[in-house]
Amino acid sequence: MRITSGYRPPQVNKSVSGVSNSQHIYFHALDMQPLNEDFGKLSEVLKASLFTGLGDAVFMGRNKAFFHGDTRPSGRIIFPYQ
């Protein structure tokens, strides 16, 4: 798995059009891609993980070729990237 984003200071988060309450600014989030290009398998692994926030930028939104996982304090949410 390739980690494409982890902690982002607020200025960096803003420059990449991150939401103002992004879990990245608290170092509670990762964006990732499979090294072997098997997005289906990585999706399965992430859905079975303990991540409470899962962002799908592959199958549920415009294909941006990454998944987001975070440890937000609320219950499990899976959301698309538009």
At residue 3, the pLDDT reads 97
Interstrand relation of 53-56 and 77-80 (parallel, antiparallel or unpaired): parallel
* Unique residue bearing structure tokens 């990762």: 30
**What would the mean pLDDT of 1-12 be, rounded to a whole number?**
96
CB 53 within 8 A of CB 69: yes
Nearest to 5, CA basis, from 58, 49, 70: 70
- Res 74 pLDDT > 90: no
Query: pLDDT above 70 covers what percent of the chain?
Result: 98
Cα dist from 79 to 9, 12, 36, 53, whole Å: 23, 22, 24, 8
- Res 82 pLDDT > 80: no
For residue 80, give the 3-state DSSP assignment.
strand
